[in-house]
Amino acid sequence: MAVRSTAAPPTPWSKNLAEAQIHQTAFVHPFSHLIGDVRIGANVIVAPGTTIRADEGTPFYIGENTNIQDGVVIHGLAEGRVIGDDQNKYSVWVGKNACITHMALIHGPAYVGDNSFIGFRSTVFNARVGAGCIVMMHALIQDVEIPPGKYVPSGAIITNQQQADRLPDVQDQDKEFAHHVVGINQALRAGYLCAADSKCIAPIRDEIAKSYTGNGITVIELERSSDVSSNSLGAETIEQLRYLLEQGYKIGTEHVDQRRFRTGCWTSCQPLEPRSIGDAIAALESCIRDHSGEYVRLFGIDKGRRRVLETIIQRPDGDVKPATSFKAPGASHSNGSYKSNGNGNNFGSGKVNGETVEQIRQLLAGGYKVGMEHVDERRFRTGSWTSCKSIEATSINQVISALEECIESHQGEYVRLIGIDTKAKRRVLESIIQRPNGQVASSGSQKSFTTSATATATSTRLSTEVVDQVRQLLSSGYKISIEHVDERRFRTGSWTSTGQIQASSEREAIAAVEGHLGTYQGEYVRLIGID
């Protein structure tokens, strides 16, 4: 198959006319473009629509088993180099077993370490991403070095080293996800190479012609001795079962009705002891049939008795959903998303709304500890809050369960959510989520950082609670300030200060705060108390 590869053009800074060096086992789609000194390692796959252009910054290195997916752009500045793992200088170095996913931009000088994952439409520029990092979708990494094994959430903007150093660690299920994507793309590479080879593809075409009956479809699997199919399971669920068996995981299934789904009270189906993919499919189909009208989920169990690849495959409406690889802690989008609790894509119950769930997710993704406090109406005005039971959980589902327990135990009181920066030993978030009238508050309505109250600026009038907080801060001798942030930067904590409010009276301070609310309509606005 012809590869669209051309020499680097002569320029004032380079006249070497270097061409791409592509390992014979790699697959480079003819609808991709390689220009200049691009070194493609063994078993690499370069998908359609990709541009790897070493005409300014040069050379580029793409390590073995790495996949460069559709629409990726790799380019580099004429100035600036990174040191590759071979101790030579490169404009762009991408290590082995890496995933550069759809529409990502890697712009040199840039280094992406072994086993790293760069999510859809994310950008890495003038930066180093250490080995084993997971970068989710629409992230920006610029002018920093991400330490090895760190997790960058979707939408994050990491432009200073302090942000990079505070990123949370990648979890085991994240590593499994990246490994799974590498495996999928290796299968695609082999398939594309086979499709271009008449000796390889002819027997498969013959087999398809023989197996087609007009009444259904037989699933043909490359390099396997037996065909497998299912009337009720999707091809992706079958692929997940196969992957679990190949990796040596045990397979588990559970079911739950709609009422118990919200509390996470799942019940195991009959234990699976499959000797083949066919046995596993039969057992899973049996569980689905026996529990029609309920949720059914599939998962793997590793040697450490930890769950991996947990996926809901049936819902109460009878819809058998395809497995979507798996979901790891923190994201919420179906296209490549991960981070899920035991209930698949749904978190919490009526006691905790979606905004509060999103706050918890952001706190955990930022590496913060989560806490809760409660207070009755009389003590609320004096700020005499009492802590609920300490939370040592790291999963969103466990945190939500603990939060619901605190709400249930303190009906008729205020309850607030707290984010704690354990390194700096300070609070980064305080958010009232329940009020004495039993209302489960919108988490967007009041969030506090340090001694602060945050509100989405949809009104220029302050609530009674915020007025009380202004009054408490002034009476305690604190100065007050305002910060604001739009929705996109809210996730990364990139707040902008309006400066300290100079007010000689409570009325002037309230007027100044309301003035800022009017100025920043449609943004988050928070009140800061300064000691």
404 annotated active-site: no
Q: Exposed/middle/buried for 456, CB within 10 Å: 0-12, 13-18, 19+? A: buried
E-strand stretches of 361-510: 369-375, 386-387, 414-421, 426-434, 447-448, 453-456, 479-485, 496-500
Q: Tell me, letter by letter, the H, E, C secondary structure of 140-178.
A: EEECCEECCCEEECCCCEECCHHHHHCCCECCHHHHHHH
Tokens read off for 339: 């981070």
Tokens read off for 321: 């959903």
Contact predicate 407/496, CB 8 Å: no
d(CA 184, CA 20): 25
Residue 400 main-chain phi, psi, to 5 deg: -65, -40
Residue tagged active-site, from 56, 239, 373, 483: 56
Closest to 67 (Cα-Cα) out of 20, 105, 116, 111 = 116
- Count Cβ atoms below 10 Å from residue 9 Cβ, excluding itself: 12
d(CA 421, CA 368): 5
End-to-end CA distance of the chain: 69
CA distances (Å), origin 357, targets 195, 311, 351, 401 = 46, 20, 11, 11
Please give the positions annotated as active site.
56
